[in-house]
Amino acid sequence: MATVLVVDDSLIDRQLVGGLLQQDTGWLVAYATDGAAALEAIKASPPDIIVTDLHMPEMTGLELVVVVRKTYAQIPVILMTGKGSEEIAVEALHAGAASYVPKRALSTLLVETVQRVLASFQDDRHRTNLMKRATARSESFEIENDVNLLLSLSRHLQQVLADAWGLDRTDRLRIGTALEEALLNSLYHGNLGVRSELKEIDHDEFYKQANERKVTEPWMNRRIRVTAHITPEEMEISIRDEGSGFDPSKLPDPTDPENLDRPCGRGVMLMRAFMDDVRYNETGNEVTLVRKRVRTK
């Protein structure tokens, strides 16, 4: 049974909204008169979802959205908007509100909107709980020379790992940075064969040459193959391109401070900084990234 917290400084509006939410739903409805009172109610007994007005004393609906998003990210917030509050509503949506319902359409849209948002958030919670119980997960991909697809793959693998390990934003960002550098290296330096030194000499020429080769044989037909294996304790991702490879022993020394200012080798340095192990095959056209899970107490 879901609990809905209704936040509105108008007694009449609170009663109207509460009546709509309790009609034929079985939901429990709690009430708060403004954002500050809502935070006290959330602290005492967290609801499953919040429905709030925008214009209130003490703390507005927008301010409430910002605090809830930061402190209680698992609780979705739905806005009730009135005429003249459009700009604030847009700002609140950007700040993290899950949806909104115009006050003039409460009778037709409110229950449906709450049902839809609740279902979505509950599915996310179930998926996260399920992934935490996975003993292992393996996936394989074959991708053409498309930057957007590679970045989408990186975000997908970040999400899988975040679900399985409960990563915070900083850890997820660091792992994502390493993955993206490895994937982009396999594209530009591997499949397309554009020299990394060219980026230091002429940044525009580097990408011009890459874009030309994306539509020219033999480069255009090459693929990047990615295999990922994730367990509760370790992630191992291998990325293999179809380029001519290179000599891994000639990579820049990641411990040398002088290399920090050079675009050439930056990706490898970031990979080694954020991963526990970075291994290349003998021909240099496959890299394996290994990250061990760090459990927080």
Write down the domain spans for the chain: 3-132, 137-292
Top pLDDT among 148 and 164 is at: 148
* pLDDT surpasses 60 at 24: yes
How high is the mean pLDDT of the chain?
87
* pLDDT surpasses 80 at 23: yes
CATH topology of domain 3-132: Rossmann fold (3.40.50)
What tokens appear for 104 in the block? 């003039």
Top pLDDT among 128 and 25 is at: 25
The Cα 102–Cα 126 span in angstroms is: 30
Specify whether domain 137-292 bears CATH 1.10.760.10.
no
pLDDT value, residue 260:
44
Residues ≥6 apart with Cβ < 8 Å to 120: 76, 98
Q: What is the pTM of this model?
A: 0.60
pLDDT digits (tens, 9 = 90+) for 215-272: 999 999 999 999 999 998 999 999 999 999 988 887 766 555 454 445 456 677 778 8
* pLDDT surpasses 70 at 94: yes
Burial group, residue 209, by CB count within 10 angstroms (0-12, 13-18, 19+) = middle
pLDDT digits (tens, 9 = 90+) for 152-207: 999 899 888 888 888 876 688 789 989 998 999 999 999 999 988 887 788 789 99
